[in-house]
Structure 1
Amino acid sequence: MKEMWDERYSTEEYVYGEVPNEYFHSRFTQFDPGEILFAAEGEGRNAVFAAKCDWKVTAFDQSEAGKRKALKLAEKHKVALDYRVGDLPSLGFEKGDFDAIALVYAHFPVEVRKKYHELLISYLRRDGLIFFEGFSKKHKKYQEKNPKVGGPKEEALLFSIEEIKEDFGSLNFLELYETEVDLKEGTGHDGLGAVIRFVAQKK
């Protein structure tokens, strides 16, 4: 998986563009700055946006190529990121480190997904927020019509509302819904797709 992402991010072009995810942008800006963690952040578009909004930003990914492009984008916008490369349990995060966590298309392997979600929740402070957008199980039919819309090809990596409630059920959902969205995020997400979105708060 790491090699796949390094190859995908090896281009000069930003595969998913340089602007933040629309849903994340719309919800995130409603809250006061604090410390935020971006999971599977790739080329850094969302993390850089948060840093520009005066948040203290930490991010991680498996891809060194993604990190290089994220830091390049941060330099372009004159902001700082703490960007770590590796697997989540070994990155040195502690319980209660963050006021918010962003999961924007963070589709972890099925065998570690529940464990990673539990870890991420533990890193949140009380009243901390999770901002989430990921492809739903219904996304498969959109991929079949238009491969340019992107997203995991394995159905097991896609989300259902039931799985979200199971993994994040300890949180208070401020909103949770599944919807069709017309994505315009670089060449990586281009076209109609099906996503699940939520904002949730730690009790």
Structure 2
Amino acid sequence: MNQQNFWNQRYADEHYAYGTLPNDYLKEKSADLRPGKILLPAEGEGRNAVFMAKMGWEVEAFDQSTAGKNKALLLAEQYDVKISYTISHVENIRYPENSFDALALIFAHFPGENRRSYHRKLSRFLKPGGHLIIEGFSKEHTTFQKFNPKAGGPRDATMLYNIEELKKDFNDFEFIEATEEKVVLAEGEFHQGEASVIRIFAIKK
């Protein structure tokens, strides 16, 4: 099954696979930022996009899943907010360079051989002085996946993060925070239980 079909299938049910509440780390880090324009790649069913729109941000999101977009727009309607959502693979997405105030990669995992080029591409859309927020599964997360299928995350270990790789990917950023942490996730059906995550908060130079 290709990735697009996988995500369309995951998002096909009426319930929200990862819940409707925002990611905790995104909520925490964005609280101190002045609302502007934010880009949310691999946004899925829209929980983070809708939250940021509620906080006064102008939201651009994209994902390859049509089912995800439909549920995101439904959620936005329920909360009476507007989001812009494009169906696209990261390889094909286009925005003007230096046009966003924030970029949030929340569990947005890419194949190892493409990761750096995709991260470089996305970083170009961010203005100098713009903020980068990342939460994703670390390479240590495979330990938790073995014991708990509901812990979530890619089964392809090359798609998991480590801090040094991410610092190289985003080498034109000042890293305010870059940590690997054990957390307990409670995000819908598919992010449940102990997990190992990388959390990054950085500013584009």
Q: Under TM normalisation by the shorter chain, which class is it?
A: over 0.9
Offset at residue 91 of structure 1 (A): 2.7
Aligned AA (1:144): K
1:93 aligns with 2:83: no
Give the distance between the partners of 2:61 and 2:20, measured in 1 at CA. Answer: 16
- The residue aligned with 1:60 is 62
Match of 2:172 among 159, 170, 173: 170
Q: How does 1:15-30 map to 2 (within 5 A)?
A: 15-30=17-32
Consecutive unaligned residues in structure 1, runs of 5 or more: none
Query: 1:92 & 1:171 partners in 2: Cα distance?
Result: 21
| C-alpha displacement of 1:38 | 0.2
- The number of aligned residues is 203
> Aligned with 1:88: secondary structure?
coil
Q: 1:154 aligns with which of 153, 156, 175?
A: 156
Following superposition, the deviation at residue 94 of structure 1 comes to: 1.3
**Amino acid aligned to 2:24:** E
Letter in 2 for 1:147: P
Shift of residue 87, structure 1, vs aligned partner: 1.7
3-state DSSP of counterpart to 1:102: strand
Shift in Å at residue 96 of structure 1? Answer: 0.8
Identity of aligned residues (%): 47
Aligned to 1:36: 38
Match of 1:33, SS state, is: coil
Q: Which amino acid is 1:145 matched to? A: F
Q: 1:115 Cα deviation (Å)?
A: 1.0
Match of 1:188 in 2: 190
**In 1, Cα distance between equivalents of 2:46 and 2:161:** 23
Q: Which amino acid aligns with 2:45?
A: E
* Partner Cα separation in structure 2 for residue 57 and residue 24 of structure 1: 14
Q: Name the structure 1 match of 2:116.
A: 114
Give a deviation string over 1:18-66, Cα, whole Å, max 9, x none. 0000111011111110000001000000010000000000000010000
Q: What's the Cα RMSD here?
A: 0.8
State the shift of 1:120 in Å: 1.0
Structure 1 counterpart SS, 2:135: strand
Please give the TM-score of this superposition, normalised by the length of structure 1. 0.98
Name the structure 2 match of 1:82. Answer: 84
TM-score, with normalisation over the residues of structure 2?
A: 0.97
Q: Which runs of 5+ in 2 are unaligned?
A: none
Q: CA deviation at 1:166?
A: 1.2
3-state secondary structure, aligned to 1:138: helix
Partners in 2 of 1:88 and 1:123 — Cα distance?
Answer: 12
